[in-house]
Copies of this chain bind each other. A is one copy, B any other.
Amino acid sequence: MDPGTNVLDLSQLRRSCSSCALNELCLPAGICSDDLERLDTAVRDKRTLDRGSVLYRDGDPFEALYVVRSGSLKTFVQDDYGDVQILGFHLPGEILGFDALASNRHVSQAEALERSSICELPYAQLQQVTSEVPALHRQLMRVISREVIEEHRHLVMMGRQQAQEQLAIFLKSLADRYQRLQRDGTALTLSMSRYDIANYLGLVVETVSRLFSRMEEMGVLEVNRKSVRICRPDLLADLCRSNGVAAPKQRGAG
């Protein structure tokens, strides 16, 4: 439809947040349409990243926050000896770059796992708009808080004693996030490598590989390289809790 009307595309671009499918997941959530237009003035443009290209690296000056529009990225820290710890995998609607707020420098690296597009929110403009739109300020805080909670989830996963539980929780949470994007939560396409998954969970790649095989034998998954089908979501949920524990322990202190 509307072939050749590039001008229309541009105006569409400017009002991107209002028309974006990620509206409800992203920064604009809960912002009224008037304020949305102002937010749009702060969104620079969409950059496209090829697989493996770096959005920001450790030490880069803080310039902007970034929203994943399509594709996916990983963020990680790397110590002086080159040891890497992956901090997270980021799907559409998720915002990156908060690590740089503290010191005005990024202290982690963000890298595309596949061809991805990004919305850039230059911090200077964003600050301007948030000062004019208090609701946006609160929403921004909420989004950072989500980031904090997401890291809690990561910690809980890593703290598990059994590697199988860890992988089960990882897959389940990935499935949940897929579903929120209105995708099929039972047919995952993993954009990250086995090495990335292993590192993310604090395991080695062989263990992850074996666990995939074992879960396939158990009939929980169907695995074919990058594509994972969750045949038995119920069983997967069970695997998140050891080997199916007895009764829930009592909550609260004694």
Residues of A within 8 A of B (CB): 52, 54, 57, 77-83, 85, 87, 98-102, 107-108, 127, 130-131, 134, 137-138, 140-149, 151-152, 154-156, 158-161, 199, 202, 204, 241, 245, 248-253
Contacts and interface: CB of A to CB of B under 8 A. Distances in A.
A166 to B, nearest CB: 10
Given A81-B249, A134-B131, A250-B82, A155 B101 contact: no
A216 to B, nearest CB: 26
A42 B77 CA distance: 36
A49 B142 CA distance: 28
Given A152-B107, A158-B155, A54 B102 contact: no
Given A99-B148, A144-B141, A82 B155 contact: no
A253 to B, nearest CB: 7
A152 B248 contact: no
Nearest to A146: B102
Q: A54, A108, A145, A158 — which one has the most chain B CB atoms within 10 A of its CB?
A: A145
A88 B224 CA distance: 38
22 contacts: A81-B249, A82-B248, A82-B249, A82-B250, A83-B249, A85-B156, A98-B144, A98-B145, A99-B152, A100-B145, A101-B142, A101-B145, A102-B145, A102-B148, A102-B149, A137-B137, A140-B141, A141-B144, A144-B144, A144-B145, A155-B158, A159-B199
A154 B154 CA distance: 10
Given A80-B248, A158-B158, 8 more contacts: A79-B156, A81-B249, A83-B249, A102-B145, A131-B137, A148-B151, A151-B155, A159-B199
A101 B144 contact: yes
Nearest to A154: B155
Nearest to A88: B155
A185 B83 CA distance: 26
Q: A108, A131, A158, A248 — which one has the most chain B CB atoms within 10 A of its CB?
A: A158
Contacts of A52: 253
Contact of A54 (B107, B154, B245, B253): B253
A148 B152 contact: no
